[in-house]
């Protein structure tokens, strides 16, 4: 009998209307931590079989737009 495996992917920010957005997600191996930056820095931790962090290989311009680094 085979089980179900679950993966999570964190995508880069979409182009922003304002520059006030903050990344509130951290990933280490199979653990994903989400921090409530708007109300008391409360943390929630989740564990998945796979974690994909799509911020690697990206740069952020001064206006907050995130784009892939050349060659990434």
Write out 16-50 in H/E/C secondary structure: CCCCCCCCCEEEECCEEEEEECCCCCEEEEEECCE
Average pLDDT in the 29-58 region?
A: 81
d(CA 54, CA 63): 20
Largest CA distance in the chain: 51
User: What percentage of the chain reaches a pLDDT higher than 90?
Assistant: 4
Choose the weakest-confidence range: 4-8, 30-34, 49-53. Answer: 49-53
In this structure, what token pair is assigned to residue 31? 């653990």
What pLDDT score does 45 carry?
Answer: 92
What pLDDT score does 52 carry?
Answer: 76
Domain ranges, ordered by start, for the chain: 1-11+21-56
């Amino acid at each position: 009998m085979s089980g179900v495996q679950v993966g999570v992917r964190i995508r880069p920010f979409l182009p922003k209307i304002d520059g006030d957005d903050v990344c509130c997600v951290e990933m280490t191996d199979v653990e994903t931590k989400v921090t409530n930056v708007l109300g008391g820095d409360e943390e929630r931790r989740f564990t998945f079989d796979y974690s994909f962090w799509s911020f690697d290989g990206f740069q952020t311009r001064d206006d907050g737009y995130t784009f892939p680094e050349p060659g990434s």
